[in-house]
Structure 1
Amino acid sequence: MNFRAHHLSQPLSVLCLLLSSTMTAGERLLVTPSYQLKMDSRCAEGEVSCAHYTLQGRERHSGEPLMLQGRSMHTTCADGETPCRFLGYRFDEPERSFLITEDGLLNIYHGDNLILHEQGRWEDDAVLEREGDQ
């Protein structure tokens, strides 16, 4: 490869890396009185409905770890198929379902029974790192 081709390939590599990193919606961190939860989307940015979320976290008092797969939840538009208004996220495991709203409300169900209802707050990485150091 000559100097000119090598010189041009570096910016192209950087551009490809930047574009690939913007293809995911990223992470969201929710802290409630009982849980510390990190959600990560593996869907393309701008994708309205996403079925590829990962929820990782821990129960704050016992330290019990949590790792679930989930999806976003939306109402449907008048056609009955197109996703409309965003409602939140849903993560299921055999015994429990975790529903998280955009305003940080965490509801945990055991079957049809609501077993936990907590208001949380969305945070950034720096806040969680400080809490982990304490």
Structure 2
Amino acid sequence: MILRHINRVKRMILKLANLFFVSCLLSFPVLAAQPFSGQWSAESDSPDGTPLSTLSLNLVQQGQNLTGSYCYVTQRGSRIDCPEQGVDNLHGTVNGASATVVFDSSFGGKKGKAELTLNNGKLSWSLLAEPQDGEFYAPKTYQLDKSQQVLVGKKTAVASNTKAKNADSDELVILTKTYKISIDQNCQEGEVSCDNVTYHSLNKKNNKEITLKGKVINKKPSMDFAGYEFDNGDYAYTLTPDYSASDSKYEYWVLNVFKGNKVVFSEIGKSSIN
């Protein structure tokens, strides 16, 4: 009787082990790399260097499922088709190096369809079907580049990296494709929050300059450093750090310009010693 019970237990353990092994095999694709995830963006310029349009995609891939948002600014900024902040207006399915997505326009058009294709580190957008039942602004084709991202958790890491690159100056300089941005934090060293930050930018294409006042963004309740925000009348500017481990000499930042809750402009830049 005892021997029969022991054999029954052994068979049960073996069965459970086999089930665990199969479940690990089934879950492996979920743990694999998610190449579509990230922020993708690009510009199309006129012959004089003025941006004609900007397309930004923020994508999250989970297995074969793809969600996120598309933001298209065209006609030199006079048409802005972007969702409310934090709202997903795009979803689809991944099949290898391509994905078919359905998207909605903030102008009312619904269920547009596009194909996204990965090739040599770039993402191609091809419009398959126009949104229906409303206006929309979306390009027929576009080729986008990906922002290099590594998550950083604590304010101490952000502060130490910034100081290392700007040891002789309190001014942080960020270079994007369009702007040279200078950030001057006019508070005592070591202060977690600061309400006296100066933003100065130079448009490298038309030499226009702008100076704004703002503050440090802190995550609550931890008060971790999360970037800067600045007020410009109906518009709000944010600069948020996005560090790359591939080159410790640079820090990556994302510039977003909001009108209300809508992102009307987005660009990625690198910090540089001033």
Calculate the aligned-residue CA RMSD, in Å: 1.4
- Alignment of 1:59 with 2:213, yes or no, is no
Counterpart for residue 265 of structure 2 = 116
Aligned mates of 1:86, 1:41 — CA distance in 2: 13
Percent of counterpart pairs with the same letter? Answer: 27
After the TM superposition, which residues 1-134 of structure 1 pair with which residues of structure 2 at under 5 Å, given as runs? Answer: 26-77=170-221, 84-103=223-242, 104-125=253-274
Give unmatched runs, 5+ long, in structure 1: 1-24, 78-82, 126-134
Runs of 4+ residues over 4 Å off in structure 1: none
**Bigger RCO of structures 1 and 2 (CA < 8 A, at least 6 apart):** 1
Aligned mates of 1:30, 1:36 — CA distance in 2: 6
Give unmatched runs, 5+ long, in structure 2: 1-168, 243-252
The one-letter code matched in structure 1 to 2:268 is Q
The one-letter code matched in structure 2 to 1:113 is K
Q: Deviations over 1:12-57 (max 9, x none)?
A: xxxxxxxxxxxxx811001111111101011000000000000112
Structure whose alpha-carbon radius of gyration is higher: 2
Counterpart for residue 143 of structure 2 = none
SS in 1 for 2:173: strand
- Cα gap change, 1:57 to 1:115, in 2 (>3 Å): same
Aligned mates of 2:231, 2:209 — CA distance in 1: 15
Aligned mates of 2:225, 2:273 — CA distance in 1: 21
TM-score by length of 1: 0.67
How many residue pairs align between the two structures? 96
Aligned mates of 2:225, 2:257 — CA distance in 1: 19
Aligned mates of 1:89, 1:120 — CA distance in 2: 14
Cα offset, 1:85, TM superposition: 1.4
The one-letter code matched in structure 2 to 1:40 is D
Q: Deviations over 1:63-114 (max 9, x none)?
A: 111100000001111xxxxx52111000111021110012211111122221
Bigger helix share: 1
